[in-house]
Amino acid sequence: MGNKVERFFKIGCFCIMMISALNVGAQNLINGKKIFETRCLACHQSDGGGVPNMNPPLDGSTNVNGKDIARMVKIIQNGYDERVALDGMYYNNAMIAMPDLKEDAIADVLSYIRNSWSNKAGLVTLAEVKKSISKNKVNKK
Ligand code: HEC
């Protein structure tokens, strides 16, 4: 008897955990979309396709789908005007710095761009953003 109740309880807890985990992901992506629309869309466009020769596409970008989260956090916080080849193309606009974007907003917008259009990369957590910021600080010295 006791065992049954315990098992029922454990399964129930597990289900609630899974549902809330999914909800957190969905909520992050909704926030990320809002941030994208207000802060990024003008340059990178709503379809993530960018503007040829000016602003790079985020859709299908090797870097956006890649593992270097710290680089993207740095780009958002400090801006980006390196004029290096991105997937073989050059872009002559400069990305503005956004030092006012909060850490959780950065996590949400990165999660959004990594999971929109044709992109299917992992979500970015607040912890990863925090880790990236301290890593970027150390590398600057
Ligand atoms: C003023 C236009 C502008 C805005 C606004 C802007 N970007 Fe950019 N972004 C650029 C440009 C231009 C580059 C490339 C700069 C270069 O090549 O030197 C870039 C590069 C990037 C890259 C690197 C892409 C790669 O393939 O390596 C990422 C990631 C990125 N932007 C994300 C964002 C996000 C997220 C936002 C909103 C929070 C944003 N950008 C807002 C213009 C912009």
What is the CATH number for 59?
A: 1.10.760.10
Predicted pLDDT of residue 18 = 75
| pLDDT reading at 124 higher than 70 | yes
- Distance from C-alpha of 31 to C-alpha of 18, rounded to nearest angstrom: 20
Domain of 50 in residue numbering reads as 2-140
- Distance from C-alpha of 106 to C-alpha of 104, rounded to nearest angstrom: 5
Nearest atom in ligand 1 to 90's CA: 17
Beta bridge partners of 89: 86
pTM for this entry: 0.89
Residue 141 banded pLDDT, cuts 50, 70, 90? low
pLDDT one-digit tens code per residue, 30-84:
999 999 999 999 999 999 999 999 999 999 999 999 999 999 999 999 999 999 9
Measured from CB, residues less than 6 Å from any atom of ligand 1 are 39-40, 42-44, 55-56, 58, 61, 63-64, 72, 75-76, 80-83, 86, 91, 93-96, 98, 109, 113
Q: How far is the CA of 116 from the centre of ligand 1 (A)?
A: 16
Number of independent structural domains in the chain = 1
